Amino acid sequence: MSFFEMHDPEGSVRDCYAEVQRWIDDTGVAGLHRRLEEAEAIFRRIGITFAVYGEGGDPERLIPFDLLPRIFSRMEWQRLDQGIRQRAQALNAFLYDVYHRGEILRAGLIPQELVYQNQAFRPEMIGFDPPGRVYSHIVGIDIVRTGPDRFEVLEDNCRTPSGVSYMLENREIMTRMFPDLFSRGRVTPVDNYPAQLLRTLKEVAPPACKGDPVVVLLTPGSLNSAYYEHSYLADLMGIELVEPVDLFVEDGRVWKKTTAGPRAVDVIYRRIDDDYLDPLAFRPDSLLGVPGLFHAYRSGGVTLCSAPGAGIADDKAIYVYVPEMIRFYLGEEPILANIPTWQCGTKDGLAYVLEHLSELVAKEVHGSGGYGMLIGPKSTAAEIATYAERIRANPGGFIAQPTLDLSTVPTLGEAGVVRRHADFRPYCLVGKRMRLVAGGLTRVALTEGSLVVNSSQGGGVKDTWVLRD
């Protein structure tokens, strides 16, 4: 039986959910459904959408919103906060290390080939010191809860984690619709996230920057699935949203074309993959990107957030070693546990995984978004056999993990409160110092028993509360 976050083991409502339970009782199921319809109408009006790759249909589909908040007590958050910061710090230390001396590899703690032969490792970054030695400025860590006191990290996102706009919008809509729930000030606000993000980005201004740093958000354009988030964040930070064609490099600096002439840009919060940043440096066949951008970066004329090559830290093959990183760089024990992971690239791992595939969750090392994964217990024998063939063809491309007993959170169902599996993604900001807004994005699997929370696979979102007392 999965841990239901609303109840204690005896089945009574936990203190942190007491107020929400009263609100549910007072409003009634029919009342909640009416309010949910109102919320959906508002979302549709604002236009929050999240296009889904590879599924066809409406690219501007509304992501389902669930009215009932997911709640963490102050004590629970304190531990999460420490664990998240610890992990973000270790991941950045790892990135600095592998692009310099590679001490952790020399020490034999991580196999060298896993790093150097990995496509996510960018040789172009070797020996370069990014401002503040920060590579990943926004670390999104996907966490699941498997018991009252047990939080485990599912994966790290060190490149350009998305979804923070939902954290902000979900809170916005909840405070707008249910001001009473927030009137006592028990819920820690999250609306300072854009200001903290901007402060973080300004802290890593390049050596060439004089005065107040000019920050822009670089988007691939309006066809990108997260374009809404790009424009929303740029708007909240009061910075310009630009596309590659708006920028050019000259005299070692990056310039934005404006009607009043070129204007120097100091920091680029880029929501574009490494491959499409600069056709001269990375993908000679790419027509996208800003020619010369990488060289302006390497010579101190601009800062790219995140740094090219930051993805080596969130590679699923590297994930296994994050607890080692924490011990090696910080001399601490990991506060948040990793999920036991079998690497099909190893002989023992492959044998175990092929034998137990029906009990495991198998994933592609370089995949994301819940695509191309196999949930053994929920798959047919034929699906498992097909997947096993894929693993055999390229063992190094796959990992497998046990099926976790994910916690459930209260969710509004047709007839009342139902229990649905959820995960959690906080966003840790890393500049000269670390900042972590008390909250994050809770994604919930809306189908009973489903373990897949990705929005691309029919998951929904809900507001996440961290209580102050």
Partner 1 sequence: MELAVRHQTTYRYATPANQVSLLLRLYPGQLDCQQIRSWEVTVNGTPVTEFPLNAFGDGEGFYHRRGAFSEMEIVASGTVATQERHGIVSGFTQEVPLPLFLRQTQLTQPDAAIHALARSLAEPEPIPRLHALSARVREAIAYEGGATTTATSAAEALALGRGVCQDHTHLFVSAARSLGIPARYVSGYLLADEAGHALRETHAWAEAWVDGLGWIGFDATNGLCVTELYVRLCAGLDAHDAAPVRGSVYGTTEIGIQADVMISLAAPSGSQQVQQQQ
> Which residues bind to partner 1, rule: CB under 8 A?
102, 105, 112-113, 115-117, 121, 123-128, 248-250, 252, 279-281, 284, 291-292, 295, 298-299
Smaller CB separation from partner 1, 123 or 211: 123
Q: Whole-angstrom Cα distance, residue 418 to residue 108?
A: 48
DSSP-assigned letter for residue 329: I
Smaller CB separation from partner 1, 217 or 249: 249
CB of 110 to partner 1, least distance (A): 12
CB of 113 to partner 1, least distance (A): 6
CB of 293 to partner 1, least distance (A): 10
Asked if 418 and 381 count as a contact pair (C-beta separation under 8 A), the reply is no
User: Pairing mode, if any, of strands 253-256 and 263-265?
Assistant: antiparallel
Asked if 412 and 66 count as a contact pair (C-beta separation under 8 A), the reply is yes
Cis peptide before 407 (omega within 30 of 0): no
CB of 104 to partner 1, least distance (A): 12
CB of 350 to partner 1, least distance (A): 20
Smaller CB separation from partner 1, 69 or 397: 397
Smaller CB separation from partner 1, 281 or 353: 281
Phi, psi of 169 (to 5 degrees): -70, -40
CB of 96 to partner 1, least distance (A): 15
Smaller CB separation from partner 1, 8 or 129: 129
Asked if 151 and 423 count as a contact pair (C-beta separation under 8 A), the reply is no
Smaller CB separation from partner 1, 110 or 444: 110
Q: Whole-angstrom Cα distance, residue 452 to residue 446?
A: 9
CB of 250 to partner 1, least distance (A): 5
Q: Whole-angstrom Cα distance, residue 405 to residue 421?
A: 9
CB of 320 to partner 1, least distance (A): 18
Please give the distance of CA 320 from its chain centroid, rounded to a whole number: 17
Nearest of 354, 374, 344, 351 to residue 362 by alpha carbon: 374
Smaller CB separation from partner 1, 292 or 410: 292
Smaller CB separation from partner 1, 250 or 332: 250
Phi, psi of 111 (to 5 degrees): -60, 130
Asked if 441 and 166 count as a contact pair (C-beta separation under 8 A), the reply is yes
Helix 164-177, helix 193-203: angle, nearest 10: 150
User: Six-digit token pair at 100?
Assistant: 């310099």
The strand pairing partners of 400, in sequence order, are 342, 362
Nearest 10 degrees: CA dihedral of 153, 154, 160, 162?
Answer: -100
Smaller CB separation from partner 1, 300 or 369: 300
CB of 272 to partner 1, least distance (A): 16
Q: Whole-angstrom Cα distance, residue 343 to residue 351?
A: 10
